[in-house]
């Protein structure tokens, strides 16, 4: 199956890429999409995930054609 992966803010800078199309085996969850897209485990800081522009947990299942976005926890003051 094919998914679109997007990175935002600090993650986009860390990955040096904004988005990619990724072929992955099924079934899979957002955490596995992260690993396939980055080739590594989760970053040292907290990240959030959205699937098709809706907040999702990293264990949420991903379907063919989904957009999976990752972004760092954002704090303000």
Structural domain spans, the chain: 2-72
Residue with tokens 């760092």: 72
The whole-model pTM stands at 0.88
Query: 3-state DSSP call for residue 68?
Result: strand
pLDDT band at 2 (very low <50, low <70, confident <90, very high): very high
Q: pLDDT tens digits for 9-25?
A: 888 888 888 999 999 98
| Phi, psi (deg, nearest 5) at residue 59 | -95, 5
Fold designation for 2-72: Ubiquitin-like (UB roll) (3.10.20)
């Amino acid at each position: 199956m094919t998914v679109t992966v997007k990175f935002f803010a600090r993650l986009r800078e860390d990955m040096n890429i904004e988005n990619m199309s990724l072929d992955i085996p099924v079934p899979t969850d957002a955490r596995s999409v992260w690993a396939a897209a980055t080739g590594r485990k989760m970053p040292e800081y907290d990240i959030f995930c959205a699937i098709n522009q809706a907040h999702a947990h990293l264990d949420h299942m991903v379907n063919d054609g989904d957009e999976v976005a990752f972004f760092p926890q954002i704090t303000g003051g």
